[in-house]
Structure 1
Amino acid sequence: MDIAALSMVMSQANVQQNAGIAVMKMAMDTGKENATQMTDMMKNVAVDTSVGQNLDTWA
Protein backbone atom coordinates (compact mmCIF):
# COMPACT_ATOMS: atom_id res chain seq x y z
CA MET A 1 0.00 0.00 0.00
CA ASP A 2 1.45 3.36 -0.90
CA ILE A 3 1.67 6.37 1.37
CA ALA A 4 -1.24 8.24 -0.24
CA ALA A 5 -3.64 5.33 0.19
CA LEU A 6 -2.50 4.78 3.78
CA SER A 7 -3.02 8.46 4.51
CA MET A 8 -6.57 8.36 3.12
CA VAL A 9 -7.45 5.24 5.12
CA MET A 10 -6.11 6.77 8.33
CA SER A 11 -7.95 10.01 7.65
CA GLN A 12 -11.23 8.17 7.05
CA ALA A 13 -10.77 6.21 10.27
CA ASN A 14 -10.15 9.46 12.14
CA VAL A 15 -13.33 11.00 10.69
CA GLN A 16 -15.36 7.93 11.65
CA GLN A 17 -13.99 8.01 15.18
CA ASN A 18 -14.76 11.72 15.56
CA ALA A 19 -18.29 11.18 14.24
CA GLY A 20 -18.83 8.34 16.71
CA ILE A 21 -17.64 10.50 19.58
CA ALA A 22 -19.93 13.34 18.53
CA VAL A 23 -22.94 11.02 18.41
CA MET A 24 -22.08 9.60 21.81
CA LYS A 25 -21.83 13.10 23.28
CA MET A 26 -25.26 13.94 21.87
CA ALA A 27 -26.69 10.76 23.41
CA MET A 28 -25.14 11.57 26.78
CA ASP A 29 -26.53 15.10 26.69
CA THR A 30 -29.98 13.74 25.86
CA GLY A 31 -29.73 11.28 28.75
CA LYS A 32 -28.74 14.02 31.17
CA GLU A 33 -31.62 16.21 29.98
CA ASN A 34 -34.11 13.36 30.38
CA ALA A 35 -32.84 12.62 33.89
CA THR A 36 -33.14 16.28 34.85
CA GLN A 37 -36.68 16.48 33.49
CA MET A 38 -37.67 13.32 35.33
CA THR A 39 -36.22 14.64 38.59
CA ASP A 40 -38.08 17.92 38.18
CA MET A 41 -41.29 16.06 37.37
CA MET A 42 -40.94 13.92 40.50
CA LYS A 43 -40.41 17.02 42.64
CA ASN A 44 -43.67 18.50 41.35
CA VAL A 45 -45.81 15.44 42.07
CA ALA A 46 -48.31 15.89 44.88
CA VAL A 47 -47.91 13.28 47.60
CA ASP A 48 -50.94 12.09 49.54
CA THR A 49 -49.60 11.08 52.96
CA SER A 50 -52.76 9.16 53.89
CA VAL A 51 -52.36 6.63 51.08
CA GLY A 52 -51.20 3.26 52.35
CA GLN A 53 -51.95 3.90 56.01
CA ASN A 54 -54.94 1.52 56.23
CA LEU A 55 -55.36 -2.05 55.04
CA ASP A 56 -58.87 -3.38 54.51
CA THR A 57 -59.15 -7.17 54.63
CA TRP A 58 -62.05 -9.53 54.10
CA ALA A 59 -62.22 -13.09 55.35
Structure 2
Amino acid sequence: MDIAALSVVSNQVQLKQQASISVMKMVMNTSQEQTNAMLAMASGISNEMELSVNPQLGSQLNVLV
Protein backbone atom coordinates (compact mmCIF):
# COMPACT_ATOMS: atom_id res chain seq x y z
CA MET A 1 0.00 0.00 0.00
CA ASP A 2 1.33 3.42 -0.94
CA ILE A 3 1.54 5.66 2.14
CA ALA A 4 1.66 8.88 0.09
CA ALA A 5 -1.52 7.99 -1.84
CA LEU A 6 -3.26 7.02 1.39
CA SER A 7 -2.30 10.36 2.92
CA VAL A 8 -3.64 12.27 -0.10
CA VAL A 9 -6.95 10.37 -0.02
CA SER A 10 -7.25 10.93 3.73
CA ASN A 11 -6.70 14.69 3.32
CA GLN A 12 -9.25 14.85 0.50
CA VAL A 13 -11.84 13.10 2.66
CA GLN A 14 -11.13 15.47 5.53
CA LEU A 15 -11.45 18.49 3.22
CA LYS A 16 -14.79 17.25 1.88
CA GLN A 17 -16.08 16.77 5.42
CA GLN A 18 -15.00 20.27 6.42
CA ALA A 19 -16.67 21.73 3.34
CA SER A 20 -19.87 19.83 4.09
CA ILE A 21 -19.90 21.07 7.67
CA SER A 22 -19.32 24.66 6.52
CA VAL A 23 -22.22 24.45 4.07
CA MET A 24 -24.45 22.90 6.72
CA LYS A 25 -23.63 25.72 9.15
CA MET A 26 -24.48 28.33 6.49
CA VAL A 27 -27.82 26.59 5.82
CA MET A 28 -28.59 26.46 9.54
CA ASN A 29 -27.80 30.17 9.94
CA THR A 30 -29.97 31.06 6.96
CA SER A 31 -32.81 28.95 8.32
CA GLN A 32 -32.53 30.65 11.70
CA GLU A 33 -32.61 34.10 10.11
CA GLN A 34 -35.67 33.17 8.06
CA THR A 35 -37.39 31.79 11.16
CA ASN A 36 -36.69 34.99 13.08
CA ALA A 37 -38.03 37.09 10.20
CA MET A 38 -41.20 34.99 10.03
CA LEU A 39 -41.74 35.27 13.79
CA ALA A 40 -41.28 39.04 13.65
CA MET A 41 -43.73 39.28 10.76
CA ALA A 42 -46.25 37.06 12.57
CA SER A 43 -46.10 39.19 15.72
CA GLY A 44 -46.67 42.31 13.61
CA ILE A 45 -49.65 40.71 11.92
CA SER A 46 -51.18 39.66 15.25
CA ASN A 47 -50.84 43.25 16.53
CA GLU A 48 -52.54 44.58 13.41
CA MET A 49 -55.31 42.01 13.73
CA GLU A 50 -55.85 42.99 17.37
CA LEU A 51 -56.22 46.63 16.37
CA SER A 52 -58.64 45.77 13.57
CA VAL A 53 -60.80 43.73 15.96
CA ASN A 54 -60.65 46.31 18.78
CA PRO A 55 -59.92 49.67 17.14
CA GLN A 56 -60.94 51.61 20.26
CA LEU A 57 -58.15 50.12 22.38
CA GLY A 58 -55.36 52.58 22.98
CA SER A 59 -57.16 55.53 21.45
CA GLN A 60 -57.88 57.27 24.79
CA LEU A 61 -55.89 57.83 27.94
CA ASN A 62 -57.73 58.52 31.20
CA VAL A 63 -55.66 60.52 33.70
CA LEU A 64 -56.88 61.40 37.19
CA VAL A 65 -55.05 64.02 39.24
TM interval, short-chain normalised: 0.7 to 0.9
Q: Could you tell me how far 1:16 is from its partner in structure 2?
A: 0.2
Structure 2 residues not aligned, in runs of 5+:
55-65
Q: Over the residues paired in the alignment, what is the CA RMSD in angstroms?
A: 1.3
CA distance, structure 1, for counterparts of residue 17 and residue 53 of structure 2? 52
Higher relative contact order (CA 8 A, sep 6+): 2
Following TM superposition, the consecutive aligned residue runs of length 4 or more in structure 1 with deviations greater than 4 angstroms are none
Count of paired positions: 50
Structure 1 residues not aligned, in runs of 5+:
51-59
Larger proportion of helix: 2
TM-score, normalising length from structure 1? 0.79
